[in-house]
C-alpha cells in the first residue's frame, strides 16, 4: 500500500470569487453558505475530503479586504492567520472580473508565505479561452505560483484535476479526522449559517452585513422532531421591521427555506422558531462579537 498523505489547504481570495462554492463541490455536500453578496464567510470553515490516497483539510477563509469595522478586522485576521499554518495556499481569482486592486492587496500578503501557492482561476465558464491565456500571463508576472489551475467550481470543470494536483504537494501523514467526517464545525454553527444564508438571499443593501444568527436552543422532542430556536441579531429597529416583514411574511419565508435545509442536514423533522432582536452596532463591540461566535481565540 502506498503511503497515505494528509495536510491543510487554505483558500484565499477577494470576496465573492467562489471559495465557498469550491469547498462545497470538493466536499460533495453543503457545509458553507453561498451568496451573491460579498464577505459571506466570516469564520474559517474547514471541509474535509478523504479518499484512499489522502485526506485534505480545506480551510475556506473570509474574503481578504480592507476592513471598515471590528468584524471586518476579525475576518481579515482569520484569513491571514490561515496562510501561516497550512501546507498549500490556493489563491482564487474570478476569471470574468480579471485582475484588480483587491488582488494586489492579497498578493502583497502572499509574498511572505513560504508554502506552495496555487493560482486558481475560477468561473472559466464565463470567459473565452483566449482571455484565459492572457489572464494567466498577467498573474504569472505577479508571483511565482507552484501551479496554475483554471476551474469552474459551479460546474465542476477541472476540479478533479485540481484535487489530484493538490495531493502531490501534501506530506505523508495520518488521518486527522474520521473518513466520513466532512467538517470540523459543530451542528450549531452549520445551522446558524444556513439561517443566515436565507437572510442573505431575501434581503438587500445593508441588512445582510448587519446580521448575525445565534442558536439559542436545540432540543429533541418526544415525537422525534427537533426544536431549533434561533435569534437573528440586527443593528437597527428599521432592519428588524424589514426582517419580520408585513404580517411576519419575510420571517416566515426565511424560516421555511432554512428549515428545509436543516432537515436535510440533520435527517430529522425540524420545528424552527426564529426571533429577530436588535443590538445596536454589534459589529463594532467586542463583547457582542464574542457572544456571536467571532472570537479572538479562533485565529
63 is in an annotated binding site: yes
62 is in an annotated binding site: yes
19 is in an annotated binding site: yes
35 is in an annotated binding site: no
17 is in an annotated binding site: yes
16 is in an annotated binding site: yes
244 is in an annotated binding site: no
211 is in an annotated binding site: no
What does the DSSP assignment read for the chain? -PPPEEEEEEEEESTTSSHHHHHHHHHTS--S---SSSS---S-EEEEEE-SSEEEEEEEPPPP---SSHHHHHHHHHHHHHTTS-SEEEEEEETTT-S-HHHHHHHHHHTT--S-EEEEEE-GGGS-HHHHHHHHHHHHTT---SEEEE-BTTTTBTHHHHHHHHHHTSPB---SS-TT--BSS-HHHHHHHHHHHHHHHH--TTGGGG-EEEEEEEEE-TTS-EEEEEEEEES-HHHHHHHH-GGGHHHHHHHHHHHHHHHHHHTS-EEEEEEEEE-TTGGG-HHHHHHTT--GGG-
9 is in an annotated binding site: no
60 is in an annotated binding site: yes
CA distance 106 to 97: 15
| Cβ atoms of residues 223 and 217 within 8 Å | no
78 is in an annotated binding site: no
Closest CA to 184 of 297, 69, 3, 32: 32
123 is in an annotated binding site: yes
What does the DSSP assignment read for 199-243? HHHH--TTGGGG-EEEEEEEEE-TTS-EEEEEEEEES-HHHHHHH
215 is in an annotated binding site: no
122 is in an annotated binding site: yes
127 is in an annotated binding site: no
**Annotated binding residues for GTP:** 13-20, 60-64, 122-125
**Annotated binding residues:** 13-20, 60-64, 122-125
Amino acid at each position: 500500500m502506498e503511503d497515505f498523505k494528509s495536510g491543510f489547504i487554505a483558500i484565499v481570495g477577494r470576496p465573492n470569487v467562489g471559495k465557498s462554492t469550491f469547498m462545497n463541490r470538493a466536499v460533495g455536500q453543503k457545509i458553507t453558505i453561498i451568496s451573491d453578496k460579498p464577505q459571506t464567510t466570516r469564520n474559517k470553515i474547514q471541509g474535509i475530503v478523504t479518499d484512499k490516497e489522502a485526506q485534505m483539510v480545506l480551510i475556506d477563509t473570509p474574503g481578504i479586504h480592507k476592513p471598515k469595522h471590528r468584524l471586518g478586522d476579525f475576518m481579515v485576521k482569520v484569513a491571514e492567520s490561515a496562510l501561516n499554518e497550512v501546507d498549500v495556499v490556493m489563491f482564487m481569482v474570478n476569471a470574468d472580473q480579471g485582475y484588480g486592486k483587491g488582488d494586489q492587496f492579497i498578493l502583497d500578503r502572499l509574498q511572505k508565505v513560504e508554502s506552495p501557492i496555487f493560482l486558481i482561476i475560477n468561473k472559466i465558464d464565463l470567459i473565452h479561452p483566449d482571455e484565459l491565456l492572457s489572464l494567466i500571463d498577467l498573474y504569472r508576472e505577479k508571483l511565482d505560483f507552484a501551479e496554475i489551475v483554471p476551474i469552474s467550481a459551479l460546474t465542476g470543470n477541472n476540479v478533479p484535476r485540481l484535487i489530484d494536483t493538490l495531493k502531490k504537494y501534501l506530506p505523508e501523514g495520518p488521518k486527522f479526522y474520521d473518513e466520513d467526517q466532512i467538517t470540523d464545525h459543530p451542528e450549531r454553527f452549520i445551522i446558524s449559517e444556513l439561517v443566515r444564508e436565507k437572510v442573505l438571499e431575501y434581503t438587500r443593501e445593508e441588512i445582510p452585513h448587519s446580521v448575525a444568527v445565534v442558536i439559542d436552543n436545540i432540543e429533541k422532542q418526544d415525537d422525534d422532531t427537533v426544536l431549533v430556536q434561533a435569534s437573528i441579531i440586527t443593528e437597527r429597529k428599521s432592519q428588524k421591521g424589514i426582517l419580520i416583514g408585513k404580517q411576519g411574511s419575510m420571517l416566515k419565508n426565511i424560516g421555511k427555506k432554512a428549515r428545509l435545509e436543516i432537515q436535510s442536514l440533520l435527517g430529522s423533522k425540524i420545528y424552527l422558531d426564529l426571533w429577530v432582536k436588535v443590538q445596536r452596532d454589534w459589529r463594532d463591540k467586542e463583547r457582542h462579537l464574542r457572544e456571536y461566535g467571532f472570537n479572538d481565540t479562533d485565529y
